[in-house]
Amino acid sequence: RIAKQEKVTAASMLFGLASLAVGNPALTQGLFSGALAANQTAGLNFSRQDEEQADRLAFGWLRIMGRNPTAMESMLKSMRRITRYRSEQLPPYLLTHPNPEDRLDYVQSLLELERRKMDKPFPDDVGSFPFLRFKYRVLSQSVEPEDLRVHCANTLASTEGGVEAAMAHYGLALLSAKENNFQEAHKHLEIVRNEFPGRDILDIDLAAVYIDSGELEKGIRLLRRFYQRDPTDMYCAFKFAGAMAMKGRLEEAEKSYLEIAKNIPEYSQVYYELARVKSGQGERGASTFYLAKYYLYEGRVKYAKQYLRRAEKDPQVPAVMQEEAKAILKRLKELEDA
């Protein structure tokens, strides 16, 4: 039944984003995974069976990722407390995540069963670099800048150094870069890099700051060095392709973008960038085709069909792209008629 649901609900996504602002990383991971799981069952009318299914999903995901599933227990205790004391004015996410009391009992039973099978305690999630980096990147795109600034300041004030404090600096680096205060962004990012000297992904983040601040050559040197070490890193490839496009080296940019599209075909932005590259090369037909794919993977089917029809009939579009446009249109028609 879960496989039939194709779109996330707004309420569940809001809950997922809101969970990332929670100060405790372990609790945050439980909240976010719980939101994802509950979202997958959002179309199932929230029977007790459906809630258990959602909680089993979240529990399983946390175990697969090597995370501490006790975060789910903390999440549900918080939800139960809010339900008890704000029963007449529940926040919107609790309207789509009902029965925290029953769900808490169920999750506690899952935890007890899991503990009996284990020969060592659950892992300690606090201070997870990958998750905290992900958290701040999402927050930088989804909450008001001043709210993020306050959140980072509160984290710095309530912790005495360590991973959480360092990653609050990461959030401030993202915020400063977004506000074009690149000197501050660089300063905060250096604090993070000093805390995590082995995290190469921070070199890519630094390269992005250099590029955005106009120091293109510095950024390219960092990216090229990393890309030579790991050509499979698509984050680096995307930043490198963008830098090549900015330098006017469109063939190199196209090569990297095509590699990304091959490895992550559902990533819509890469088709938009390919459309820009092809337009810059004077190949308007190919640009039209890539715009069609951009709209398709963005879920804007109406616009995708318009551009696909153009690509299908435009003699300037390469034959292989025309055939793909026809195949996509045919598949869309089959889905509409189903």
Say what the pLDDT of residue 94 is.
62
Q: For 67-71, 85-89, 138-142, which range has the lowest pLDDT when averaged over its residues?
A: 85-89
Residue at 244 is within a domain = no
Q: Is the pLDDT of residue 97 over 60?
A: yes
Mean pLDDT of 66-74: 76
166, part of any domain: yes
- Whether 253 and 239 have beta carbons less than 8 Å apart is answered as no
> What mean pLDDT is predicted for residues 22-31?
51
pLDDT of residue 126: 46
pLDDT for residue 136 is more than 80: yes
Q: For residue 131, is pLDDT > 90?
A: no
Report the pLDDT averaged over residues 188-207: 93
Q: Answer with the one of 99, 117, 135 that is the final residue of a domain.
A: 117
Tell whether 96 and 155 lie within a shared domain: no
- Is 231 within the bounds of a domain? no
- Domain span at 330: 267-338
pLDDT of the residue at 58: 82
* Contacts by 150-153, CB closer than 8 A, 24 or more apart: 151/21, 151/23
Is 254 inside any structural domain? no
Q: Which of 117, 143, 162 is the endpoint of a domain?
A: 117
Do 92 and 26 fall into the same domain?
A: yes
> What is the domain count for the chain?
3
d(CA 18, CA 10) in angstroms, rounded, equals 12
pLDDT, tens only, 275-312: 999 999 999 999 999 999 999 999 899 999 999 999 99
pLDDT at 11 over 70: no
- Torsion angle of alpha carbons 159, 149, 185, 234, nearest 10°? 90
What is the rounded distance in angstroms from the CA atom of residue 280 to the CA atom of residue 275?
9
In this structure, the answer to whether residues 294 and 314 fall within a common structural domain is: yes
Instruction: Output the pLDDT for position 208.
Output: 95
What is the reported pLDDT for 45? 46
Q: What's the pLDDT band for 59 if we cut at 50, 70, 90?
A: confident
> CA geometry: angle at 149 spanning 14 and 220, to 5°?
95
pLDDT of 3: 43
- Judgement on whether residues 30 and 135 belong to the same structural domain of the protein: no
Query: Does residue 222 fall inside a structural domain?
Result: no
- Judge whether 284 lies within some domain: yes
Both 107 and 143 in one domain: the answer is: no
Of 150, 165, 199, which one is at a domain's C-terminal end?
199
- Do 170 and 273 belong to one domain? no
CA distance 67 to 77: 19
**Cα atoms in the 13 Å half-sphere on the side-chain side of 194:** 11
